[in-house]
């Protein structure tokens, strides 16, 4: 029962919420204990909210999940946990979220409430609407970034919000492509209705556009006058290489197999992407917090 309850929460998917820390890092608040702790609270609140949404999603999809070659092993679809128990766990999670948000800024509370309601709407209706299904996934990532900013009362760059939108669109279309490929190769099981409205060729075009948008938005952020003035360096542009490699590597993975259906599994299993992500974070932290010193050395 305990292991089934943990699986129901999908803790691996909590990695999606690390974008909550982006405003903390890019506002130079990483080593501010109060801001760091507040960001951690925001991260935990988003993780618990996401898990509550996953429970509702699994309840809504229980029949279709039973026909899926992998999703049929989920706790609800397999019968390892009952619907009533799942709803109880979801209620406890939302109570914990309310406790964590009790003294948080009003804007953060509005964002996390919007995140929950948007995802509930997605789980029960919007995920069956072609294109909007992926756009609402992207909206969830943008709300995470905004929530991270509002939690510590800092202004977030519009370029960062735009970049997170393109990255999440990229991952969303990759997920749809992986699902479509898996359904085409499956011997049985009815596909979700929205998948019938997509074509692999169309999704490949959307992936190209989203990837280009993400890289361009990030590159423009690194050279924006406000960014250069804030960090005292123009060298953040060089971290774009890690973004480009990560996008290309993921594109390679989804074209060489079926791993694109679950972006989280790729992030946990592909060592080149893991190493690339760590190097990108370290490079950004080094340049942001020692920007002016690095610039003087390179000049």
Q: pLDDT tens for residues 101-152? A: 989 999 999 999 999 999 888 888 888 889 998 998 889 989 999 999 999 9
Same domain for 107 and 198, yes or no, is no
Tell me how far apart the alpha carbons of residues 189 and 169 are, in angstroms, rounded to a whole number: 27
In this predicted structure, the answer to whether residue 298 has a pLDDT above a threshold of 60 is: no
Same domain for 88 and 112, yes or no, is yes
Same domain for 83 and 173, yes or no, is no
pLDDT band at 294 (very low <50, low <70, confident <90, very high): very low
Tell me how far apart the alpha carbons of residues 83 and 63 are, in angstroms, rounded to a whole number: 13
Q: What is the mean pLDDT of residues 1-27?
A: 86
Same domain for 132 and 6, yes or no, is yes
The number of beta carbons lying within 10 Å of the beta carbon of residue 298 is 9
**pLDDT value of position 178:** 83
Same domain for 12 and 150, yes or no, is yes
Write the CB contacts of 7 (distance below 8 Å, at least 6 apart in sequence).
74, 75, 80
Same domain for 89 and 189, yes or no, is no
Same domain for 120 and 165, yes or no, is no
Write down which residue in 127, 156, 185 finishes a domain: 156
**pLDDT value of position 145:** 93
**pLDDT value of position 285:** 92
Helix, strand or coil for residue 196?
Answer: helix
- Return the CA Rg of the chain: 20
Write down which residue in 90, 123, 156 finishes a domain: 156
What is the domain range of residue 230? 157-299
CATH (domain of 60): 1.10.357.140
Write down which residue in 156, 185, 202 finishes a domain: 156
Same domain for 128 and 91, yes or no, is yes
Could you tell me the two tokens for 207? Answer: 């992936």
Write the CB contacts of 85 (distance below 8 Å, at least 6 apart in sequence).
5
Residues 133-137: contacts with CB within 8 Å, 24+ apart? 133/172, 133/176, 133/194, 134/169, 134/172, 134/173, 134/176, 134/206, 135/169, 135/172, 137/168, 137/169, 137/171, 137/172, 137/175
Count the domains in the chain.
2
Decide: 210 and 170 in contact? Cβ < 8 Å. yes
Decide: 264 and 13 in contact? Cβ < 8 Å. yes
Same domain for 149 and 236, yes or no, is no
The number of beta carbons lying within 10 Å of the beta carbon of residue 84 is 8
**pLDDT value of position 10:** 87
Decide: 211 and 170 in contact? Cβ < 8 Å. yes
Tell me how far apart the alpha carbons of residues 262 and 124 are, in angstroms, rounded to a whole number: 20
Same domain for 12 and 69, yes or no, is yes
Decide: 156 and 24 in contact? Cβ < 8 Å. no
Tens digits of per-residue pLDDT, 185-218? 554 455 567 788 889 999 999 999 999 999 999 9
Same domain for 3 and 135, yes or no, is yes
Residue ranges of the alpha helices (H) in the chain? Answer: 2-9, 22-26, 33-60, 62-66, 75-78, 83-100, 106-124, 132-151, 158-185, 200-223, 225-231, 240-256, 263-269, 271-289, 291-298
Same domain for 52 and 187, yes or no, is no
Q: Which of 48-52, 60-64, 80-84, 139-143 shows the lowest per-residue confidence on average (mean pLDDT)?
A: 60-64
């Amino acid at each position: 029962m305990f292991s089934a309850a943990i699986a129901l929460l999908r803790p691996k998917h909590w990695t999606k919420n690390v974008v909550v820390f982006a405003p903390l890092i890019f506002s130079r608040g990483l080593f501010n204990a109060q801001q760091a702790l507040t960001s951690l609270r925001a991260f935990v609140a988003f993780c618990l909210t996401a898990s509550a949404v996953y429970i509702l999603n699994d309840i809504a999809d229980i029949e279709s999940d039973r026909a899926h070659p992998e999703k049929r092993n989920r706790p609800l679809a397999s019968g390892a946990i009952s619907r009533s128990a799942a709803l109880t766990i979801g209620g406890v999670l939302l109570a914990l979220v309310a406790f964590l948000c009790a003294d948080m800024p009003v804007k953060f509370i509005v964002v996390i409430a919007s995140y929950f309601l948007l995802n509930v709407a997605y789980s029960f209706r919007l995920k069956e609407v072609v294109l909007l299904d992926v756009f609402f996934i992207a909206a969830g990532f943008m709300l995470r970034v905004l929530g991270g900013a509002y939690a510590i009362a800092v202004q977030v760059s519009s370029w960062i919000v735009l970049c997170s939108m393109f990255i999440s669109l990229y991952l969303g279309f990759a997920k749809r492509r992986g699902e479509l490929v898996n359904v085409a190769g499956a011997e049985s099981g009815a596909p979700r209705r929205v998948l019938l409205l997509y074509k692999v060729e169309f999704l490949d075009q959307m992936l190209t556009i989203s990837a280009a948008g993400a890289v361009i938005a990030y590159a423009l952020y690194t050279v924006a006058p406000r960014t250069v003035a804030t960090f005292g360096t123009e060298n953040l542009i060089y971290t774009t290489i890690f973004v480009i490699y990560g996008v290309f590597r993921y594109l390679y993975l989804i074209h060489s197999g079926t791993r694109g259906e679950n972006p989280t599994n790729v992030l946990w299993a592909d060592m080149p992407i893991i190493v690339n992500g760590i190097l990108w974070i370290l490079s950004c932290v080094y340049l942001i917090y020692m920007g002016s010193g690095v610039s003087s050395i390179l000049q």
